[in-house]
Amino acid sequence: MPHARDRSEVPLKADSFGRILLVREGGRSFVRRDLGATPWWLRLPAWWLARHEARALERLAGQPAVPALLGWDGRRLDRSHLAGAAMYQRPPRGDAAYFRAAHRLLRQVHRRGVAHNDLAKEANWLVLEDGGPGLIDFQLAVLGRPRSRWMRLLAREDLRHLLKHKRTYCPEALTPVERRLLKRTSWFRDLWFRTGKPVYRFVTRRVLHWEDNEGRGPRP
């Protein structure tokens, strides 16, 4: 068992649903979501979100560029650490290869029956040390049969969010098909913006007091 001096914890993020720590222990590094400091009135949703992320990571076991689930005991969720930076910290400007690889990664995730469902946030897209894409934060992921109508709809929304980032950082690489997809909207998106989004903003900004970036805190 590692001595205390061989262990360190670096806070990465803290919000109403727990703390995210980079743990270095015995020569290895991993990321821990710790629910120990969660307010009592948020413990149930925090537990549900962490358990849901664990289930998504279990389904994605062995998938490159996605964290591996290392453990979940009802209070702490441990996952492997992907070395890199968030998209907004290391923007892939003009990097068409990055977005081609990101598209392939999304297809692989969707084939496992997982729709990420939170890819508008640049914080959930990584630029890894080798320049390739990575995905993190599967708390809001939806699991289902890959070929079902519902999962195909959610997969298309994931892709639309990726294409929006591509339009921001590499617009010259957008294909005519991708431009048409960006112009197209779905009933799901329209329903979310009319009903779910106002509720989400009220809860996150007025109740939970998240500052901006949809709960990720101010950008550095």
Q: 17: which residues sit within 8 A by CB, 6+ positions away? A: 35, 38, 42, 45, 46, 49, 50
Handedness of CA 105, 173, 165, 83 (dihedral sign): positive
Equal CATH topology for 4-80 and 84-184: no
- In the predicted model, is pLDDT for residue 189 greater than 70? no
Which pLDDT score is estimated for 190? 61
- The whole-number pLDDT of residue 18 equals 87
Pick the CATH number of 84-184 from 1.20.1250.20, 1.10.510.10, 3.40.47.10, 2.40.37.10: 1.10.510.10
- 99-108 per-position pLDDT tens digit: 999 999 999 9
What residue spans define the domains of the chain? Answer: 4-80, 84-184
51-73 pLDDT, tens digit per residue, is 999 999 999 999 999 999 999 99
Average confidence (pLDDT) over 182-190:
72
Comparison of pLDDT for 155 and 213, the residue scoring more: 155
Residue 206: pLDDT over 60 = no
Q: Are 129 and 83 in contact (CB under 8 A)?
A: yes
Radius of gyration of the chain (CA): 18
Domain 4-80 has what CATH class? Answer: alpha beta
Q: How far apart are the first and last CA of the chain?
A: 36
Reported confidence tier of residue 208, pLDDT bands at 50, 70, 90: low
Q: What is the pLDDT of residue 207?
A: 57
Residue 91 pLDDT: 97
